[in-house]
Chains A and B, each alone.
Chain A
Amino acid sequence: MVFKKIANWFRKSESQLPFELPIDEEEIFKKSKVILQQLDEYITASELESENISIQLDNVLAEQDTIRNKIKDLNKPDSWHERNLLLKLDRLVVHSNNLRQRIELFSQNIKVYLNLMSKVEDIRVMRLNGLETDRIQNIWLEFQHSFETYKEKIATEAVTETKESVTAGETEERLLKLRQQVFDLPQEVVVKQDTPLATTSQIIRPSLERLIINKKLDPFEAEDSTNLRKDLEHEWNSSANDVLNRLEEA
């Protein structure tokens, strides 16, 4: 059932109607009773779901406030306790954003369903009045156009939607921002360091013993160990001079 619920959310988020829409207005008139029933049920179900989510959102927001107060009361910068609370607050912010987005999606779906219901009822009434089919067709085409626009809009939103980063660096930045918000500190501009920090790992030479072992592992070059050692010593000494020069330059 949970999977079904999740599937429903995805289905709704893609703004696809949960049933196939008839193309012909003649067919709409014939199936109008079933279509209206389905739409009405989906509207009510979406409203209920949206209501439940909004209650959940209120609870999450209240929990956020509680954690903010806890962080303020604790006032232990750089402690693991505070970090843990900040991480929890971060998770709650993500959760509340997701809930907000879902409520908006439900609202948009309800609007589409309402519009569609109104059009189907219009068609029914016009057919009963014996009006021209061209005019009825126009209503249907008009709705289809608006529905396509809505689908495109939702699709664009889905493409442009940025997912929350889970990398360590991004998390640190978010936690820092959250902390600044909690304590009402001025927002510091976080400068990203494009160039990596200077390290000496490239300058450090491998030891002579390591060089010998590596050479010995190669079966074609490990014939004479004494000659090999001499060669390597010479090579190692020359590299030492090279390293010293580079360190001086640095």
Chain B
Amino acid sequence: MRDIWKRDTMFVEEGSVVIVTDVDQPALAKYIGSIWKVKNVMASYHPATALIYHQQFGEIVLPIRCLEVIPPEDSPLSHDEFVRITKGYPRDAHHTCCFELVKETGKVRGFDTRNSYYFIKIANGNSGWFPLHCLIPLSFRGEKFYYPDQEVLLDGVRVKISKIRKTRFGHGQLLYINGSWIPSTEVKSAS
């Protein structure tokens, strides 16, 4: 199997967009902070390594522990964004909840494409994986934050949110309901 997870619980697969956060050779230090695309994963190597590609710099090989997966563009949370962990969750197939981190504030430092969990790292160095419904972005300035799969009232009808999206200036959010993006101010909480 080519696609495999390594580096504690970080999952990297072919096609993932990653950011270089550390290097194993001083010559590669200039690439720290740049964004690359994973071309291949060598899981059997020690340490597990990925071949990454950049349009300008070409290809390099780096250990997976030096990489952080960036959430996709349509994700409601972006890389390095401050979030508050609001609650925990029951054990997941891939991750276990770290209840010590609940009510803490941290940064998004990774993304798991298998189940859309976010890797949160807090200031004291602790880290853990959390799904979106356990997090709230600190930059959100709206009245109420809605989550995917949440039921809301739209024109008096109970509907389910499929996806959510950040707005341009972070004042609110858009909800994908029945095939169209609806402003969150047009719906009411069903609970």
A: residues with CB less than 8 A from B are: 1, 4-5, 33-34, 36-45, 47-49, 117
Contacts and interface: CB of A to CB of B under 8 A. Distances in A.
Contacts of B142: 37
A37 B143 contact: yes
Q: Is the interface of B mostly helix, strand, loop or mixed?
A: loop
Given A34-B143, A37-B185, A41-B184, A48 B174 contact: yes
B65 to A, nearest CB: 36
Given A34-B185, A45-B174, A40 B168 contact: yes
B141 A117 contact: no
Of the listed residues A4, A33, A39, A40, the one surrounded by the most CB atoms of chain B closer than 10 A to its CB is A40
Of the listed residues B155, B165, B171, B173, the one surrounded by the most CB atoms of chain A closer than 10 A to its CB is B171
B141 A37 contact: yes
The 4 A-B pairs of least Cβ separation, nearest first, read A41-B183, A40-B171, A37-B172, A44-B167
A184 to B, nearest CB: 40
A47 B174 contact: no
B191 interface: no
Contact of A38 (B155, B168, B179, B183): B183
B178 A38 contact: no
Contacts of B169: 36, 40, 43, 117
Given A40-B167, A41-B173, A117-B169, 17 more contacts: A1-B178, A33-B143, A34-B185, A36-B169, A36-B171, A37-B142, A37-B167, A38-B172, A40-B168, A40-B171, A42-B183, A44-B166, A44-B167, A45-B174, A48-B165, A48-B174, A49-B181
A183 B119 CA distance: 60
30 contacts: A1-B180, A4-B155, A5-B180, A33-B141, A33-B171, A34-B143, A36-B169, A37-B143, A37-B167, A37-B171, A38-B172, A39-B171, A40-B167, A40-B169, A40-B171, A41-B171, A41-B173, A41-B174, A41-B183, A43-B167, A43-B168, A44-B165, A44-B166, A44-B168, A44-B181, A45-B174, A45-B182, A45-B183, A48-B181, A117-B169
